[in-house]
Structure 1
């Protein structure tokens, strides 16, 4: 269990940061004046501003109209929140303009008698009500003038984002934060910035007020704490998790958002790791347990804040965990999820959060899931091993400030260098995006010397590439492509028949043909039971060719409970390399007799397939 500790930050820098926090808090509580609606504002009498009552919005209007979409008008209320308005009435106007109600009355005044003075003389009329129809007409007309507004594309919630100029933006709910090239922190009110609308929301973590360098960072202490767990790869896994904490702040600013999944038996510290991570991220995380995909996107909405899900266990017959994994997969590249609604109106959700999961056994993962995540395996802790981590109250804010200060260097130097290293390690493009982003974020937080100290030879790119290649070889080997997965399923498939009392498989029949001297006639008869054919070596492949038709009842039975059902095996196999799957073989070689019936087949060169597979040591 992680302890959360409040500390006083000593020194001039720490004192300055605390002082700036206090000043910003005072400023945030200041509310602009809202004078009596009968008084003139900047010399303009009630209801007499240029363009009144509906040719344009009144000057300094606290409500911003963003645009329209069908019957909906989208507005930023006086408190900074997004409203989509279809029904217009007085309560709606009050919700939009509060707490500046007097402005509403001043802009569209309904006058009434001012009464009489002590001498019985008529006094000037005074504002007594709102001319609701005029106000509504003005707001709707402005929405139409502004044009179409799509909240699914333009609205940004809390978390990290990238501005149009490439700068990093942190939306804390009540403020938008940026750091300039001189490392000066500035903030602005939520609203429309560079074509995107940042809606005002309940406040979460704000960045540390002063720059944070490698010497002052809490990341070094956090890394030391992470090293006390019993990792399968102690020189790599703590850095990957630390890197994920860095990417958790980046969120929507990243092109790809890596997933981490911690696994291990009871008592290895998975839940404690979640508690440590959540203590660092504080209120800037959606921390959930045993949830559903629908529950996640109802919590996240437009945020790019990270999501942690503890105890995402594999449960037979349940698709709940699979749907959550699918959502994280979409979030990796910012893909959209569309769902139908009860009123036949479709809803679209775009996740741009980094996900962290844990389980004793992770749910079944497809190749497309594995390539987007780093699986971090934990082992039993030895008695007396480790210590209780202590998270200081400012740790997360300081890490966030590091991310903001180092964003340009991360994109222009650190991440490209890691991409080059992992390319040398023969990672594919998606694995480079996953591991490269995590390791680059770790380097941003602790620097290369700390990575050297944990055991990664960061200063020697070739040695580093070899080490990471070896460290991830097992999990990358599990990330086989679909064509290979399909072929391996077929080779392991049982055949309806026995040979010497042993149940035959497609692979065992081929082994007897290639290594035991079984004749091609016997081999052809056995394979025909599985709906397959065979061609000799050299006709046309380097080795014997397995002939696979697009349709056959026996093949349909073999693939019925897989992703390759109903002839899908052909489409999968066609994705294989040309030297293995002979799609360009002569037409006459593709026609093979199976149980006396001539079938047009896809040919798989078993000799070339064996040559590209890892050799047994």
Structure 2
């Protein structure tokens, strides 16, 4: 008797397989047809922007820019989706099985979202977007220039975009509003709202009335300064969209109305400016963050004990002029880039001692006192609304800004003004032109008696000339500081400045006076008149004490280890040995030469042609008079 064939049984079972019994109960619902577990879909309320070094960037449900690490913690994801969390639960449901207490039947229900799948989907979505660095892509509140040169006025809760070119000869589109988020290649996140520009632009009559109001202050240079003030208001509203951001410094004595002027400017700018009387450079940077709002300082006096703080603020304004960046370390030992693109305004009784690189980036306007019993200036109640109307006008006129700026700069070039003057005053005039005219300048406009660019530049020429005179080279100001410094005198004697003692020492050389009190005085304060031997540049020869009037004479000024010279430059921008660098840049000067001042071992000195310190012709005339008189 033959038993069952096991091989045949196995073959028969394999040819007709049956599903194994499901011992788990009801299975979880299958995903919907076409579902991709790594796809956020087009209706996702959160927008992935990209990634950088395991950091992932999104616009959240409220269009705020959010950065997350790789963990995607549940609380972070919930905060990212906010009130739209139901979308997440529907797209990536987390199921759990429950038993009906009455029927005892089991069913699957949605219990939140599957965090692991959400994490995968969001990382993959950012990977598909590619690398994203918020530096240079994130834009704060204020004015910006778009991809095609249009103006983007980011008001925090929305953007007004204007100045777009027309398409194929069509009429240029009117300014339009956009929600926060991606616009071109830039991200404009949702931020606390600023006052929006008005629906209607300021008419020319309102701009004229504002200029009349500005002229009620007693400007030292009259209507010129009032017009430059108006121009700055235009530039301040457009700051981040400009290539260069000119600054303004208003000076005037007590009683000149600086405070009331600042109040008017603050009413016009509203929350489009940061106004302060006491802030540090770091504080201003933190307040601005990525914003391009104007910055207004009142009572920033040069002698109030905060010179170092104010110097840093002025340096920040210098960086903002061209939008240069600065790097700062963070608590995480990472560097963070900060780029300022704001127009600054300062007001004080006296302006600070400004290096040439700062002076030629700003216009300085001067106020004088009002006569006694002058009634206080009053401002119209509606002036706060004027600022919103002016900003609307600037947006509507923006399409011609580049052409207008080119016209003013070309005219300034034709009249012989420098590139920096064209950048500073050309930008001011172009912004003022957007406020006061409705079309770009045209040299052959028959409606104008004089080309308006030429007329405007001629009008402000005195202000530019003053700026030229005040923007002395740093080296020239350094040697002037030295020449004007008064040296200590014995009791009862009058103190005289360095230039006077150098002149006396020269007279002694010209008249061959053997004993010279002046030369001894200079030596005590770290200075000496010297001749330079031929070949000194190659290090083959050094210096001699000056003794012949028909040879080139130099003034040797001791280096930073000399206490007497330290006292001369104490508290100035050339302290701590900086005077050595500044003096060495003078024509014909050179540094790092050893000189025996007669008070010990030789000291390192900077050698300056004596003609930079005194008027040689005047010294020679005085020497001749003394020689003839026998004095």
Q: Which residue of 2 aligns with 1:198?
A: 188
Counterpart Cα distance in 1 of 2:256 and 2:521: 49
Once the two structures are superposed, what CA deviation does each residue of 1:265-314 show, in whole Å capped at 9, x if it has no partner?
Answer: 33432222222222223333333343333333333221112222333344
Q: 1:286 to 1:159 in 2, by over 3 A?
A: same
Which residues of 2 match residues 476-487 of structure 1 at below 5 A? 476-487=468-479
CA 1:281–1:503 in 2, change beyond 3 Å: closer, same or farther? closer
Matched, 1:225 2:213: yes
Change (3 A) 1:571 1:49: farther
User: Quick check: 1:532 aligned with 2:528?
Assistant: yes
Instruction: Tell me, yes or no, if the aligned pair for 1:312 and 1:358 is still in contact at 8 Å.
Output: yes
2:239 aligned residue: 251
2:323 is aligned with 1:334 = yes
- SS for the counterpart of 1:389 is coil
**Structure 1 residue 353 corresponds to structure 2 residue 362:** no
Structure 2 equivalent of residue 16 of structure 1 = none
Unaligned runs of 5+ in 1: 1-44, 452-456
Matches within 5 A, 1:143-542: 143-179=126-162, 180-181=164-165, 182-209=172-199, 212=201, 215-216=203-204, 218-314=206-302, 316-318=304-306, 319-363=308-352, 365-382=354-371, 383-384=374-375, 387-392=378-383, 394-412=385-403, 414-423=404-413, 428-447=418-437, 459=451, 465=457, 468-494=460-486, 501-512=493-504, 517-519=510-512, 522=516, 527-529=522-524, 530-535=526-531, 539-540=551-552
Post-superposition offset of 1:98: 2.3
For the 8 Å contact 2:224–2:459, the answer to whether it is kept is: no
**What does the per-residue CA deviation read over 1:559-583, in whole Å, with 9 as the maximum and x for residues that have no partner?**
454443454333213333xxx3255
Deviations 1:489-543 (A, max 9, x none): 2223455777995545431133335678544864655544433323466645xxx
Give the drift of 1:58. 2.6
Kindly indicate whether residue 56 of structure 2 is the aligned counterpart of residue 73 of structure 1: yes
Q: CA deviation at 1:155?
A: 0.9
1:276–1:389 Cα contact (<8 Å) kept? no
Matching of residue 63 in structure 1 with residue 46 in structure 2: yes
Quick one: which of 565, 569, 583 aligns to 1:573?
Answer: 583
RMSD: 4.0
Distance 2:241 2:33 in 1: 41
Give the secondary-structure state (helix, strand or coil) at the position aligned to 1:223.
helix
Paired position in structure 2 for 1:13: none
SS of residue paired to 1:156: coil
**1:549-568 deviations in whole A, cap 9, x for unaligned?**
65773545544544434543
Query: What is the match of residue 52 of structure 1?
Result: 36
Specify whether residues 69 and 422 from structure 1 end up closer, same or farther in structure 2 by C-alpha distance, changes over 3 A only: same
Question: How many Å separate the matches in 1 of 2:215 and 2:266?
Answer: 17
Q: 1:545 aligns with which of 551, 554, 557?
A: 554
Greater alpha carbon shift after TM alignment, 106-115 vs 154-163: 106-115
Alpha-carbon separation, structure 2, partners of 1:340 and 1:100: 36
Residues 533 and 548, structure 1, Cα contact 8 Å, conserved in 2: no
Task: Give me the TM-score of the superposition, normalised by structure 1.
Answer: 0.76
Q: Distance in 2 between matches of 1:209 and 1:448?
A: 18
**Once superposed, which parts of structure 1, at least 4 consecutive aligned residues long, lie more than 6 Å away?**
114-123, 460-463, 496-500, 590-593, 596-601, 608-613
Larger RCO of the pair (alpha carbons < 8 Å, separation 6+): 1
Deviation of residue 461 (structure 1)?
A: 6.4
- Given that 1:573 and 1:581 are in contact with CA atoms closer than 8 Å, whether structure 2 keeps it comes out as no
Q: Distance in 1 between matches of 2:437 and 2:513?
A: 62
Once the two structures are TM-superposed, the CA of residue 131 in structure 1 deviates from its matched residue by 0.5
Q: Which moved more, 1:312-321 or 1:94-103?
A: 312-321
Moved more, 458-467 or 337-346: 458-467
CA separation in 2, counterparts of 1:518 and 1:534? 16
Does the residue aligned with 2:555 lie in a helix, a strand or coil?
strand
Deviation at 1:130, TM superposition (A): 0.5
Native 8 Å contact 2:530 2:556 kept in 1? yes
Give matches, 1:55-134, under 5 Å. 56-86=39-69, 88-113=72-97, 125-134=108-117
Q: Give the Å deviation of 1:107.
A: 1.6
Q: Contact 1:110 / 1:131 at 8 angstroms: preserved in 2?
A: yes
1:12 alignment partner in structure 2: none
> What does residue 10 of structure 2 align with?
none
Instruction: Please state how far the C-alpha of 1:464 moved relative to its aligned partner.
Output: 5.6
8 Å CA contact 1:537, 1:545 repeated in 2: no
Q: Whole-Å Cα distance in 2 between the matches of residues 573 and 363 of structure 1?
A: 21
Unaligned runs of 5+ residues in structure 2 are 1-28, 166-171, 442-448, 532-547, 618-631
Residues 1:149 and 1:49: Cα distance change in structure 2 (over 3 Å): farther
Aligned length: 548
Per-residue deviation, 1:324: 3.2
Asked which structure has the greater CA Rg, the reply is 2
Residues 64 and 198 (structure 1), Cα distance of their counterparts in 2 relative to 1, 3 Å cut:
same
Provide the C-alpha distance between the structure 2 equivalents of 1:391 and 1:363, rounded to a whole number of angstroms. 35
1:83 aligns to what SS in structure 2? Answer: strand
Once the two structures are TM-superposed, the CA of residue 389 in structure 1 deviates from its matched residue by 3.4
1:236/1:49 CA distance change after superposition, 3 Å:
farther
